[in-house]
Each structure stands twice: as C-alpha cells, then as structure tokens.
Amino acid sequence: MKIWLITAQSTLTNLKNDIKAGRVPMRGVNLGGWLVGEYWMTSASPAWNGVPTDIANHGEFKTMQYLGHNKGDNQFKQHRDTFITEQDFREIAAAKMNTVRIPVGYWITGFDNQPGGDPDGWKVYAPGGINYLDRAIREWAPRHNLLVLISLHAAKGSQNGNDHSSPSDPGNSHWSAYPENVRNTLDAVEWLARRYNNDEAFLGIGLINEPTRTTNEGVLKQFYYDAYGRIRQFSDCLLTVAPLLYQQGPYDSDWARFMPSPQFHGIRHEWHRYQIWGYEDWSKDRLISYAQNELKTDMLNWKGNWLFIGEWSIASSASFNDDDLRLYARAQIDAFKGATGGWTYWTWKFYNDDGSRNAWSMRAMINRGLIQL
C-alpha cells in the first residue's frame, strides 16, 4: 500500500510539472454550481427550496439573504454534500481527464479585512464551503490522480453582475470601482494559494472569472500584477489571467503583450469561447464550420502567454443529431489543440441530470458517446 501511494503521488507531481512546463495540456471540466450556487444548473437542489425563482436566479447572496441562516445554512450544506462527491472525481478520472476547475466565492475564506463597502457581506453566506474545497484538493483529487485549478468566480462587489458572481446588486458590477473590493480579492487569492501551496493536487488559481466591460481594464491589469507579486513570494503555482469578457480574440487590446515571459512565469491567458450568445440564429453546419476554421485560426494567431480555454461547451441554440453533435465536439477539441494550456469544459453536470441529453453536461455527453476524449 505504501509503495502504491508513493507511486501515485509521484505520478501526480510529474503531471503537475508537465502541465506547468507546457508539455501536457489541461484536459478537464468545471465543477460549476457546487461552491458558487447557480440556480439554472441546480434548480432541483435542496439549496433553493422555498426560494422564489426570481430571487434564486440572482445567485447565492440574494438567496441566502432571503432564506436566512436558520434555513439557508442547512439547505446549502445538503447541496454541497450531494451535488459533487468523490464518485464524480472517480468518473472524471475514468474519462481520462487530468484537471478539475472549481469555482469559489470570496466568502470561502471566512473573512473580509478590507473596510468599506459591505465588510460583513461574506457573513450572509452559508459557512463551511472551505471544508469541501479542502476535501476536493486533499482527498478526492490526489486519490484519483487529478489536479485542481481554483477559479475566483465571485469577487466582492461583483466583477460582472451575473448570478455566478453572486452580486448583492444584481445586474451591476462594482468590483473595480472601489479599491476595497480589489484589495479583498487580492487577500482571497493569496490566502487560497498559501493554504494549498504544499498540496500535491493544487495546480493554481484563476485570479478572477469573466470580468465584463463595466470593469475598468486598467484596474484589472494592476490587480493581476499585484496578485502575481504577492503569490510569487511563496509559490510557483499556475495563475490564469482573464481579459474582459468581450476580449476573447487574438488582437483584443494589448493582452498579447501583457505579463510577458520570461519576466513573468507560470501565467496562462484564459479565454471562454462559447458559440451561444450572439450565435442564436446559427445553423449546426455553420457552427461546425466555425469551429473547424475561425475558432482554430484564433488559437493559432494568439501570440501571448499560453492559452487556456477555461470554459467552453457544445451547447447551442441549433438542433443537432448525435452524429453532428459528435462532429461539433471534435471540431472544438481539435481547435483547442492550439491552446498550449489546454481546456476545461463547462460544466460537469446539472443537478439530477442522469440519463439526460443536456449538452451543458459533460458527464451526459461522455455517457452518450458524444464527447470522446
């Protein structure tokens, strides 16, 4: 048993080193909706029991504000206990993936040391999320030879106003407008990096997820410099930087020259390439052709830090039969060969979606043979 454990740990360390060096790409999936609640994916979960849909659709903050701790703490505990378990890690590993990307919110740290704004906002959430992240990184992932990339999905003040950033002011983003919000995010990513720096399954951190055009680009870039400076004092973990959400191409702004190597190391430039919003009237043939051509060309034309496709999906508004959907998945995966950093699909599953043909659910798509790795 001891010999096996040493071998497994050595294999995981080698995998991490290979991914960090660009020899092996991430091939993985997001555990969306688990530690940052998203109603649209988990509406059958006990987390949302008794919550009006219009409130649940605004995310975890508004939901907990509505429920209060007496009800909400237990409901979100049940959700966290049942939605993602070790069995999911077992299945992800069996599907020949090597990475899970886990979205978290700033409140997972259990503190906010930055006065201003709402310094007690983190107390609204159901406590204990950190215990699940600990379990994922320290037990489940190493046991199944998987690496974990943490994604700071929900920053104080909200970087995009969407439900997955758990805004206190739904539809509005205040993150970059108030220095205390940015400082809190710096504290959070540093704290997470310190907590897991010596854990073998810890790969790194996505410093902030999907900042939108309401976010000040200059503030965002300075945040990345500051986060890098803090974390590199003690860790060489992987760090991903995301441009503004509309900047998903090779020539947007000056991102291709941002934080260049070798002055900066261990950086991945993170794109989220969905052919969904803005593609509603596209036919399946047009989507497949796009993936085979323009999408692939964008990967090849990128000249900055190694690309990482942090989110993508074969979900769309078009009507696909199984053969065409399989072709569409293959076309995207082929295109992403141009991303040295690899990719993580959005998302692993919906709540209680066993046997479904839901293209958002990688688990469903793998089980039906529509995504083949």
pLDDT (tens digit, 9 = 90+) per residue, 68-109? 999 999 999 999 999 999 999 999 999 999 999 999 999 999
Task: Report the pLDDT value the prediction gives residue 353, as an integer from 0 to 100.
Answer: 87
- How much is the average pLDDT of 352-371? 94
Residue 94's Cβ-count burial label (10 Å; 0-12, 13-18, 19+) is exposed
3-state secondary structure the chain: CHHHHHHHHHHHHHHHHHHHHCCCCEEEEECCCCCCCCHHHHCCCHHHCCCCHHHHCCCHHHHHHHHHHHHHHHHHHHHHHHHCCHHHHHHHHHCCCCEEEEEEEHHHHCCCCCCCCCCCHHHHCCCCHHHHHHHHHHHHHHHCCCEEEEEEEECCCCCCCCHHHCCCCCCCCCHHHCHHHHHHHHHHHHHHHHHHCCCCCEEEEECCCCCCCCCCHHHHHHHHHHHHHHHCCCCCCEEEECCCCCCCCCCCCCHHHCCCCCCCCCEEEEEECCCCCCCCCCCHHHHHHHHHHHHHHHHHHCCCCCEEEEECCCCCCCCCCHHHHHHHHHHHHHHHHHCCCEEEECCCCCCCCCCCCCCCCHHHHHHCCCCCC
Is 1 within a domain? no
pLDDT band at 328 (very low <50, low <70, confident <90, very high): very high
What mean pLDDT value characterizes the chain?
96
pTM listed for this prediction: 0.96
Is 16 within a domain? no
Instruction: Look at the chain and report how many structural domains it folds into.
Output: 1
Q: Is 255 a residue whose pLDDT tops 80?
A: yes
Task: Report the pLDDT value the prediction gives residue 4, as an integer from 0 to 100.
Answer: 46
Task: Report the pLDDT value the prediction gives residue 116, as an integer from 0 to 100.
Answer: 81
pLDDT band at 9 (very low <50, low <70, confident <90, very high): low
Is 61 within a domain? yes
pLDDT band at 118 (very low <50, low <70, confident <90, very high): confident
Residue 220 is part of a domain; what is its CATH number?
3.20.20.80
Is 212 within a domain? yes
Say which amino acid occupies 143. Answer: R
In terms of Cα–Cα distance, which of 282, 373, 290 is closest to 328? 290
Is 17 within a domain? no
pLDDT band at 117 (very low <50, low <70, confident <90, very high): confident
List the domain range (segments joined by +) for residue 76. Answer: 25-368
pLDDT (tens digit, 9 = 90+) per residue, 306-315? 999 999 999 9
pLDDT (tens digit, 9 = 90+) per residue, 335-359? 999 999 999 999 999 998 888 999 9
pLDDT (tens digit, 9 = 90+) per residue, 139-177? 999 999 999 999 999 999 999 999 999 999 999 999 999
Task: Report the pLDDT value the prediction gives residue 355, as an integer from 0 to 100.
Answer: 84
Is 10 within a domain? no
CA distance 99 to 110: 26
Is 261 within a domain? yes
pLDDT band at 197 (very low <50, low <70, confident <90, very high): very high
Is 5 within a domain? no
